[in-house]
Structure 1
Amino acid sequence: MRISELSERTGVSSASIKYYTREGLLPAGERTGYNSTAYDESHVARLRLIRALIDTGGLTVAAAGKVIAAIDDPDIVLDHVFGIAQQSVPRDATPPSAAAIEQVHAIMRERGWATVPQNPGIPLAAGVLDDLAMTRTDLSTVLPRYAEAIDMIAEADLDAVAASGDRDQMAEAVVVGIVLGDVLLAGLRRIAQESHTHRRYRGGVVPCQDHETDETTETKESS
């Protein structure tokens, strides 16, 4: 397919396609003439991955490039791909407090989690605990339950990776699971929270929703 068709199928502009190729995120197409290039389904799949990493995952182009390079390098073992993907996810630059770090380490010891000291999840979780402490919200009583749930999710992540097939598919599954999995879990959590709220406080009854916008309501009131 020509670049115009690739752009139409993926929703990525021709200029962006050329940019991603120059930056090494997207393999070059096959030259079929002086001023023409052909692309195939692998380019469609790669562009969708690139946009998912950047648009949904919030990665910069440079960070997405590092992650994709790790996927494409057969000499990088999967646990290193995990590390590269984890380090690429945006996070708060403010160092967390020692007390919050110790809280996280306590949960790690309780669950038997072993990681390298620079695992980005440690300062990420500790930073959230610091923010919660400033709002006078204490999560210490529910942290063990959160950790138990996360253990199950982490096992499910690895099961999904193992079921992917060959090394390239497994590496891509690693990246998708880390970068996009956080967004997916946030969405599912919000759904479950509302459902459990209705069960607990409304006897399972879902309240009716007014789908009219404020603008529509104001128009009706003024007419």
Structure 2
Amino acid sequence: MIHFIYSILCFLLLTGCQSNKEESSCRFYDDGKAKPTVTLIPIIDSTCYDIPWSLSEEFTHMIKKNLIKNGNIYIPQNNEFILSSTINPFSNNLSWLKDKTEDEEFIILLELIEHKEVPISKTMKKAIKLPESKKRAYNLDMAMRIRVIDVRKTTPKIIMQEKIEDSFYVPNNIERTNYNITTYGTHEYKSSPMGKIHKKFSQKLTKRISDYISIAKSR
């Protein structure tokens, strides 16, 4: 009877972890060990990039989805931590963390500080005459500031603080994508240059964050 009840509980736990994988994650590894419990604070967008949707929402959603898919981190459902506009989360003052819940172990903070298109002609060190088609190609330069805080003890500890930069080449197309029409969330956006670049950059950020937290958790 006890074995039967144990089997039912394991089944419920497994199905609970597998349901809606994109939005929820399982708290334990297969061997029963607890995963790091993480809160991802909505990304701060400090850029002035003009686009008809929120880059903060896009990157927050993608990174959260990637962290869950990674399988090494537990992100509780509905654990939103909304920062007050008066708080600078990247300052040395961490007193605002007193409002965290007891279950939280790590807080992830990100700030998008650069998102701009740089024409290829401007990236050349020498004045090289380019064909007209090449002039319309550009690099999409991005930079994200990251801070991960360990809040398992009474005194919060910053375990990661980096700025990750990357530049992605966007070749000339016969017709440039109109992002007023091809917006985030549409099928067309996923296959657009910006959609692919944002996905690649998010995956790079996710791996870096996940590696740091996994190492910190093991110590």
Q: Which has the larger radius of gyration?
A: 1
Q: Which has the higher helix share?
A: 1
Compare the two structures and name the one with the higher strand fraction. Answer: 2
Higher relative contact order (CA 8 A, sep 6+): 2
Interval containing the TM-score (normalised by the shorter chain): under 0.3
TM-score, normalised to structure 2's length? 0.25
Q: TM-score, normalised by structure 1?
A: 0.25
